[in-house]
Chains A and B, each alone.
Chain A
Amino acid sequence: GESVGLHLPTLSVQEGDNSIINCAYSNSASDYFIWYKQESGKGPQFIIDIRSNMDKRQGQRVTVLLNKTVKHLSLQIAATQPGDSAVYFCAEKIQGAQKLVFGQGTRLTINP
């Protein structure tokens, strides 16, 4: 069935360190995977997406890795800053559909 889930509900990192947020998915028919950031009291904000035929994509300070063999998605944030504190959701788009299926979310907290 459709399900996207996250390995860890919370992640604490030191400011300046790299953060890695993981996600498992189960639907092989997904054609896009997307990472969203949600700050307290706000709507989800797009970070980066990756097409299913890719295994890596880089943005500004972020990298998304896709391992289709084990159905695993990760978001790496380089040099984590206080402004990165938020809940991070992975989401998948099923091929032929428009909706996004979201995972449970990981809360990232930054220690000074």
Chain B
Amino acid sequence: EPEVTQTPSHQVTQMGQEVILRCVPISNHLYFYWYRQILGQKVEFLVSFYNNEISEKSEIFDDQFSVERPDGSNFTLKIRSTKLEDSAMYFCASFLAGVPYEQYFGPGTRLTVT
């Protein structure tokens, strides 16, 4: 069964450093997403990406965040200058289109900012 993969599984970084979280969505999917989940809380939407551009973003997704799909395979989330409150589990998801409305989630990257 096709799956979304994410690397690394765990990233530890110091406050102020840049991090890049990587995802390989399912190959024929058209929509790509980043979500985050702070420990013990609900999953929160960050950004959606379609046709090589951001289609929607949340208030969390400020100027410190950016996304790229550099090579038609990988989908990355960059945080330019990490803050302690960026510590969370980051999930990548992809969606083909149509129904069922099934966004496939990756296993997540746990980001710890110290």
Interface residues of A (CB under 8 A from B): 32, 34, 36, 41-46, 48-49, 51, 89, 91, 93, 97-105
Contact = CB atoms under 8 A, between A and B. Distances in A.
Interface in B4-57: 4, 31, 33, 35, 41-45, 48, 50, 55-56
Q: 6 nearest interchain CB pairs?
A: A43-B105, A99-B45, A102-B43, A98-B48, A46-B102, A32-B101
B112 interface: no
B91 interface: yes
B74 interface: no
Most buried by B among A36, A98, A100: A98
A43 B101 contact: no
B55 to A, nearest CB: 6
Interface residues on B, range: 20 to 34
A103 B101 CA distance: 17
Contacts of A43: 4, 91, 93, 105-108
B58 interface: yes
A98 B93 CA distance: 12
A100 B103 contact: yes
Contact of A44 (B43, B56, B100): B43
A97 B108 CA distance: 23
B33 A45 contact: no
A36 B45 CA distance: 15
A48 to B, nearest CB: 8
